[in-house]
Amino acid sequence: MKSVTHTLKFEYLDRGYNKTLVLLPGWATDARIFGPLDLKFNYIVPKGDFPYSFEESLLDFVKKRSLSKISMLGWSLGGFAAADFAAKQSHLIDELILISIREKYKKGDLQRIERSLKKSKGGFLYKFYRQCFYNKENIKKYKEIFKTFRDSFKLDYLLDTLNYLSKTSIPSQALKDLNKIKIIHGKYDEIAPIEEARGISEKLKAEFIEINNCGHLSFLEEDLSEHI
């Protein structure tokens, strides 16, 4: 599969706080998915398509902002990217927050997604976004943003990021030096089984927070501010 080149740019959102949080979105979304989040941090967000190969760009961005410490929040695919960066740059990390993660994705499952995307990109994405919610009615609150995602993401980009998912996993051993790791997971996540997330938490000795009545997009179904 041919790799797609992405522009690696970040944006700093000064929200008047002392701490800064990097927000990394999941597959088939971008930073706009975090719009409802109101956390006590300034934000660093990727601009445009999710740049999963971003280490040098983010390091340069952090240096120019003279930030001595940052926290990382990665949701789903973004959790792999956040964990990988934190493992390599542990001296920079105050806290690592992983939402809706799993150890790794199975190749066969990703191949089935690839076939479905090629058959009907829009149809599959609608099904995927709906599957992210425990209460399926909740998708109606965000129908405009999901319609934007369905229309804007090109097939090549979606396949390229699937390819990334086929090769990555949570680097549990490399993360053991981090003191503050938090794993947040919806109890009824249909995409990333909660048992798998618990297993990662045990390996990392991380704080595990189960969110009831939520699926893969827990932060769109519940206010997570008391947990972060």
Q: What are 14-36's pLDDT values in tens digits?
A: 999 999 999 999 999 999 999 99
Compute the average pLDDT of residues 96-122: 97
The pLDDT, as a whole number, for residue 51 is 62
Q: Rounded to an integer, what distance in angstroms lies between the CA atom of residue 73 and that of residue 63? A: 19
pLDDT beyond 70 at 1: no
Per-residue pLDDT tens over the stretch 163-216 = 999 999 999 999 988 989 999 999 999 999 999 999 999 999 999 999 999 999
pLDDT beyond 50 at 6: no
Residue 159 placed within a domain: yes
CATH of the domain at 84: 3.40.50.1820
The pLDDT, as a whole number, for residue 107 is 93
The pLDDT, as a whole number, for residue 144 is 96
Amino acid 222 reads E
pLDDT beyond 60 at 4: no
Residue 204 placed within a domain: yes
The pLDDT, as a whole number, for residue 52 is 66
Residue 171 placed within a domain: yes
Residue 1 placed within a domain: no
Residue 48 placed within a domain: yes
Q: Which domain holds residue 60?
A: 10-221
Specify the number of domains making up the chain.
1
Residue 192 placed within a domain: yes
Q: Which H, E and C letters describe the chain, residue by residue?
A: CCCCCCCCCEEEECCCCCCEEEEECCCCCCHHHHCCCCCCCEEEEECCCCCCCCHHHHHHHHHHCCCCCEEEEEECHHHHHHHHHHHHCHHHEEEEEEECCCCCCCHHHHHHHHHHHHHCHHHHHHHHHHHCCCCHHHHHHHHHHHHHHHHHCCHHHHHHHHHHHHHCCCCCHHHCCCCCEEEEEECCCCCCCHHHHHHHHHHHCCEEEEECCCCCCHHHHCCCCCCC
The pLDDT, as a whole number, for residue 48 is 74
Residue 130 placed within a domain: yes
Residue 54 placed within a domain: yes
The pLDDT, as a whole number, for residue 139 is 96
